Structure 1
Amino acid sequence: MGKPTGFIEYQRLLPSDRAPLERVKDWREFHLHFNREEDGREQGARCMECGIPFCQTGKLLPGGASGCPVHNLIPEWNDMIFRGLWKEAYERLRMTNNFPEFTGRVCPAPCEGSCTLGINEPPVTIKLNEVSIIDKAFEEGWVQPEIPVERTGKKVAVVGSGPAGLACADQLNKAGHEVTVYERADRIGGLLMYGIPNMKLDKQEVVQRRVDLMAAEGVQFITNVEVGKDISAETLRSDFDAVVLCAGATQPRDLPVAGRELTGVHFAMDFLTANTKSLLDSNLENGQYISAKGLDVIVIGGGDTGTDCVATSVRHGCKSVTQLEIMPRQPDARQPDNPWPEWPRVHKVDYGQEEAAAIFGRDPRDYLISTKKLVGDENGHVKEIHTIGVRWERDEHGRMNLAEVENTAQALPAQLVLLAMGFTGPEKTLIDALRLDTDPRGNVKAEYGQYATNLPGVFAAGDMRRGQSLVVWAINEGREAARECDRFLMGKTFLP
């Protein structure tokens, strides 16, 4: 611990983001870095080197995730940042996280929620420190292709190129196997490429940079191929010594109300994917996206995807944007039933809400709202959404149920409705083709830590196995599935 009094001397400090009214004019990342390296070193000094670093535990508690799922050696590289040992900090970081440039940008940082300092002070800026380390490593040229010295002669297919698939492929390649990644989209990256907007995660300078590095290390990427459709699952099994399924949980939750069939009602991921693809293909000049320009936009769903829809609609130049949440507003501070080191369930204003408020004068979120129906015009295009206020009540069995609140019905103008209510699980094409066992939620059945399906040599990891989750949990599962796949192929493994 280089600075025993650091957490007393220095306050939590984050670089200012680009101003909302400035950043909505483009699609560049809105986060900025410190101008002075000394500021970063001071933030590293705030780490207490506490006796038990809960920040790196990576546990699922009843109240939610706690700590870092990939078990980053957080106190170690915080101390190295303070000492100015940036390369050594990078070496520690890469031991546990294949893609800190992704998690340092898009992870909600459960590590900070379980930071010991966060019990009674603002927690250490762990997420900022992480991305500062990896960005400096790229700037200094420390990140270079590392081609395995020896190859095992074993061939592994990884299906899906999201964070789980990429982490799995990276680890298996390090073990010396010949790895081929299949992706049905036209670009590698899965949700990192098309599910997260460019202003949160730059595709060329961040995502493609890592993909190119992995390709230089020997990983083969095949795009525009859907396994189970363009190539049979059995062909894959016969051509490879093992298969790891990392296809995600991409089945969106629908809205079963009257008017759902109207034109102008879209799943959020269709909206976001088309926008990013058009942005990358033509800077939106080809028009091959769902435009919110000049429209009253209703986003149904309050998670990160809903926020991304708000921010994208604002950049299109929407007339208005409203985000409807069926859950109540979170409290401003932890409640007794949400103690440290659980993930803090507190109210946050994310970048999309901040931008909408700067333009329209208010936070776009309305809470405890349920959609009753969608109404269309004479051309079959949505024009209104009818809603009602609700409250959550506990029944005699302890279950929480929704009850409508009288005299709260309203009709809102809406020419574009985006459904951002999460995902129900993986798509069934590949599951059915392989006759894989599934759990009660429809995910591929494979025990956590083992990742083996009912088919020998076929493994599953990430959202396809666990359901919708965080990027950092996907990386965790991809790494561990690679370890178990390597053990299956070689009889032993040196992968972590």
Structure 2
Amino acid sequence: MRGTTDFIDQKREKPKEIDALERIATWKEYQKPFPEEKLKIQASRCMECGTPFCQMGELIGRQTSGCPLYNLIPEWNTLAAQGKWEEAYYRLLLTNNFPEFTSRACPAPCEGSCTAGLVSEPVTIKSIEKAIIDRAYKEGWVKPRIPLKRNGLKVAVVGSGPAGMAAADDLNQAGYDVTVFEKEDRFGGLLMYGIPNMKIEKQYVQRRIDLLQAEGIEFIANTEIGKDITLEELQETYDAVLLCIGAEKQREIDIPGRGLKGIYPAMEYLKTSTKHLLDNGGNGEPRITAKGKKVIVIGGGDTGADCVATAIRQGCKSVVQFGKHGELPKERPEHEPWPVNPSLFTLDYAYEETFKAFGEDPRKYYIQTTEFLGNEDDEVTGLLTVPFTDEPVAEKQLWKADLVLIAIGFEGVDPTKAAGAELQNGRIQTRPGSFQTNREGVFAAGDAKRGASLIVWAMQEGKKAAKEIELYLAQKTAAAQLPSV
């Protein structure tokens, strides 16, 4: 029986992980499955709040708090606690197109806004969500949902990342003929090439793509808008076009020595690594490799952590990660009161692996790079840094490096790939309160419209854009059927 005070009486537990030294020898996901009885206990910790802040999905300050997909978290927690896994899956499916992605790639702001965290520790929402969807696939509950009828209208979705796929899924289920265009050779956007395999194995991304294709969505790879096909050509063929092209233009460091060999944007490095893994099964070395090198990652975020973990698996000699901010607090700070999702110190998977492999945390704080140093062959050999300080003169420190990865975020949409859409501050501009751009019948969603953000925001944008496209096409069809006066 579920107790009313389980959120206090039962302690929060997370799934066990494969030992760090063992897992860095592979590219497999590092979390072990949660035993069913433990899952039920963890789900029973949910308080079934009358006002569930975990599912509110709001920005408080600059922090995402709660789930932007408005997942019915208390409802499927209750069903999981009762062992009603199939019912929990269908409840989860009401709001979330791809739980196998969010339960792996989302940082779970829902947990930071969990009411149980006020008096105890938050519910392990992300782990329960992953258990529900993984079981649904295992039991065969996830099946192609073929729309009963088509309405004859065609929509083109440009970009197959979370926003594009969510929009395509909803539009397809509503009866539209949907075609998804992707510039890469594989589908999934950042889910495929931007997130390392150990965080989300690509078989799970491909499994969903296969399912969407079975449901009637057409996917076309190696097709870049503005290069292989124009926006005008798409508009001639399709009744509406949705741009979900991401915010792929990475921030750069404009300091002496940036042009040296061996300095790369983080996403170029991660993409090269994953593509090589998928193409060659781990045999040989990718074009950009950390093997035997001293690696420095500039940027203290999740992308930087992924670079650290990737470098370790490639056999780096050492790895250091620079951050311009200080170490995060271990407990909720006063300036981030509940239900704000707090920024807290955690031993991320990459840092635990570095501890085991090299005996220390790779993170260095309050560091600013001032110059890259190279040899006579124009190869990077190191860099100079100063601490972020109020002192007018700071002593420079020398760091040796053979490979430098820049992971300081994204500026927005690459202007060369905007396909004529109007940009402002790196984002595709849309009409006020709308997803429609300055061009009639052309819409935008996800990071391209919002700026680089979480997978759950991208999916929310894709779903809302799909609704607006439905309304737009319904009104357009109705107007076309009116008798002429």
Fold-level similarity (TM above 0.5): yes
The 5 A counterparts of 1:308-327 are: 308-327=306-325
The 5 A counterparts of 1:174-189 are: 174-189=173-188
| Partner SS state of residue 427, structure 2 | coil
Pairwise CA distance, 1:6: 1.9
Change beyond 3 A, Cα 1:47–1:332? same
- Residue pair 2:354, 2:360 contacting (<8 A) in 1 also: yes
- In structure 1, the residue matched to 2:217 is 219
Which of residues 366, 369, 388 in structure 2 aligns to 1:368? 366
- In structure 1, the residue matched to 2:49 is 50
- Residue pair 2:115, 2:122 contacting (<8 A) in 1 also: yes
- Residue pair 2:414, 2:426 contacting (<8 A) in 1 also: no
- In structure 2, the residue matched to 1:62 is 61
- In structure 1, the residue matched to 2:480 is none
Pairwise CA distance, 1:454: 1.2
2 CA distance for matches of 1:492 and 1:437? 23
Change beyond 3 A, Cα 1:240–1:291? same
- Residue pair 2:380, 2:402 contacting (<8 A) in 1 also: yes
Amino acid in the other structure paired with 1:313? A
**Structure 2 length-normalised TM:** 0.96
| Partner SS state of residue 241, structure 2 | strand
- Residue pair 1:449, 1:481 contacting (<8 A) in 2 also: no
| Partner SS state of residue 227, structure 1 | coil
| Partner SS state of residue 388, structure 1 | strand
- Bigger shift: residues 287-296 or 273-282: 287-296
- Residue pair 1:167, 1:475 contacting (<8 A) in 2 also: yes
2 CA distance for matches of 1:238 and 1:319? 54
Amino acid in the other structure paired with 2:403? L
Pairwise CA distance, 1:133: 0.4
| Partner SS state of residue 150, structure 1 | coil
Pairwise CA distance, 1:144: 0.2
The 5 A counterparts of 1:249-288 are: 249-288=247-286
2 CA distance for matches of 1:174 and 1:384? 54
| Partner SS state of residue 79, structure 2 | helix
| Partner SS state of residue 255, structure 1 | coil
Q: Does 1:457 align with 2:441?
A: yes
- Residue pair 2:55, 2:70 contacting (<8 A) in 1 also: yes
1 CA distance for matches of 2:8 and 2:165? 40
Q: Does 1:116 align with 2:123?
A: no
Change beyond 3 A, Cα 1:320–1:448? farther
Which of residues 396, 420, 425 in structure 2 aligns to 1:409? 396
- In structure 2, the residue matched to 1:400 is none
- In structure 2, the residue matched to 1:294 is 292
- Residue pair 1:486, 1:492 contacting (<8 A) in 2 also: no
Q: Which digits, 9 at most, give the CA deviation of each residue in 1:387-434, with x for residues without a partner?
A: 01113xxxxxxxxxxx45745421011000000011000111343x32
- Residue pair 2:294, 2:403 contacting (<8 A) in 1 also: yes
- In structure 2, the residue matched to 1:24 is 24
Q: Which digits, 9 at most, give the CA deviation of each residue in 1:216-250, with x for residues without a partner?
A: 00000000010111111110111100000000000
- Bigger shift: residues 118-127 or 242-251: 118-127
Q: Does 1:14 align with 2:1?
A: no
2 CA distance for matches of 1:448 and 1:115? 32
- In structure 1, the residue matched to 2:158 is 159
Q: Which digits, 9 at most, give the CA deviation of each residue in 1:231-278, with x for residues without a partner?
A: 111101111000000000000000101000000000000100011001
| Partner SS state of residue 423, structure 2 | coil
2 CA distance for matches of 1:404 and 1:63? 29
Aligned identity (percent) is 52
- Residue pair 1:63, 1:343 contacting (<8 A) in 2 also: no
Pairwise CA distance, 1:104: 0.3
| Partner SS state of residue 453, structure 1 | coil
| Partner SS state of residue 263, structure 1 | coil
Amino acid in the other structure paired with 2:181? Y
1 CA distance for matches of 2:414 and 2:370? 27
- Residue pair 1:389, 1:405 contacting (<8 A) in 2 also: no
| Partner SS state of residue 381, structure 2 | strand
Q: Which digits, 9 at most, give the CA deviation of each residue in 1:122-176, with x for residues without a partner?
A: 1000001111100000000000001100001000000000000000100110011
Q: Where do 5+ consecutive residues of structure 2 fail to align?
A: 478-485
2 CA distance for matches of 1:448 and 1:90? 36
1 CA distance for matches of 2:305 and 2:282? 20
The 5 A counterparts of 1:327-366 are: 327-366=325-364
Q: Which digits, 9 at most, give the CA deviation of each residue in 1:16-46, with x for residues without a partner?
A: 1111100000000001111x31110011100
Amino acid in the other structure paired with 2:470? D
Pairwise CA distance, 1:295: 0.4
Change beyond 3 A, Cα 1:490–1:380? same
The 5 A counterparts of 1:337-486 are: 337-391=335-389, 403=390, 406-431=393-418, 433-434=419-420, 436-439=421-424, 441-446=425-430, 450-486=434-470
Change beyond 3 A, Cα 1:357–1:489? same
2 CA distance for matches of 1:57 and 1:474? 16
Q: Does 1:200 align with 2:185?
A: no
- Bigger shift: residues 285-294 or 68-77: 285-294
Give 4+ residue runs of structure 1 displaced > 6 Å after superposition: none
- In structure 2, the residue matched to 1:399 is none
Q: Where do 5+ consecutive residues of structure 1 fail to align?
A: 392-402
Q: Does 1:238 align with 2:236?
A: yes
| Partner SS state of residue 328, structure 2 | coil
2 CA distance for matches of 1:80 and 1:380? 61
- In structure 1, the residue matched to 2:246 is 248
- Residue pair 2:412, 2:426 contacting (<8 A) in 1 also: yes
2 CA distance for matches of 1:404 and 1:40? 52
Amino acid in the other structure paired with 2:212? M
Change beyond 3 A, Cα 1:81–1:448? farther
The aligned length equals: 477
RMSD: 1.5
| Partner SS state of residue 412, structure 1 | strand
2 CA distance for matches of 1:102 and 1:177? 24
- Residue pair 2:153, 2:239 contacting (<8 A) in 1 also: yes
2 CA distance for matches of 1:260 and 1:458? 38
Pairwise CA distance, 1:9: 2.5
